[in-house]
Amino acid sequence: MAVGDMVPEGRTGPPRASLLYDPKVRGIVSQIVVAVSLVAFFWWIIDNTRENLQRLRIASGFNFLWERAGFAISQTLVEYTPESSYAWSFVVGLLNTILVAAIGIVLASIIGFVAGIARLSPNKLISGIAAVYIETLRNAPLLLQLFFWYGAVLTVLPGPRQAVDLPLGANISNRGLILPWPAFEPGAYATAIAVLVALLGAWAIARWARRRQEATGQPFPAFLTGVALVILLPILVFLVTGRPATISYPELQGFNFVGGLNIQPEFVALLLGLSLYTGTFIAEIVRAGILAVSHGQTEAAYALGFRPGPTLRLIIIPQAMRVIIPPLTNQYLNLTKNSSLAVAIGYPDLVSVFSGTVLSQTGQSVETILITMLVYLTLSLLTALFMNWFNARVALVER
pLDDT in tens, 315-359: 888 888 888 999 999 999 999 999 999 999 989 999 999 999 999
pLDDT reported for residue 237: 86
pLDDT band at 14 (very low <50, low <70, confident <90, very high): low
**Residue closest to 151 by CA, chosen among 269, 315, 26:** 269
Residue pair 287/359 in contact by the 8 Å Cβ criterion:
no
Compute the residue count for the chain. 399
How far apart CA 346 and CA 340 sit, in angstroms, is 11
Mean pLDDT of 289-298: 87
pLDDT reported for residue 270: 94
For the chain, the farthest-separated pair of C-alpha atoms sits apart, in whole angstroms, at: 107
pLDDT reported for residue 50: 76
Q: What is the residue-averaged pLDDT of the chain?
A: 86
| Three-state secondary structure call for residue 172 | strand
State the Cα angle at 112 between 266 and 120, rounded to 5°: 145
DSSP 60-103: -SSGGGGSB-----S--SS---TTSBHHHHHHHHHHHHHHHHHH
Structure confidence by residue, pLDDT tens digits, 188-205: 788 889 899 999 999 999
Structure confidence by residue, pLDDT tens digits, 224-274: 888 898 899 888 988 888 877 788 878 877 777 777 788 889 999 999 999
Q: Is the dihedral of CA 204, 206, 208, 210 positive or negative?
A: negative
Q: Which residues are within 8 A (CB) of 45 and not within 5 positions of it... i.e. 6 or more apart?
A: none
pLDDT reported for residue 313: 83
Question: Is residue 99 scored above 90 in pLDDT?
Answer: yes
pLDDT reported for residue 16: 56
pLDDT reported for residue 1: 46
Residue pair 304/185 in contact by the 8 Å Cβ criterion:
no
Q: Global pTM?
A: 0.81
Mean pLDDT of 37-45: 90
How far apart CA 175 and CA 256 sit, in angstroms, is 8
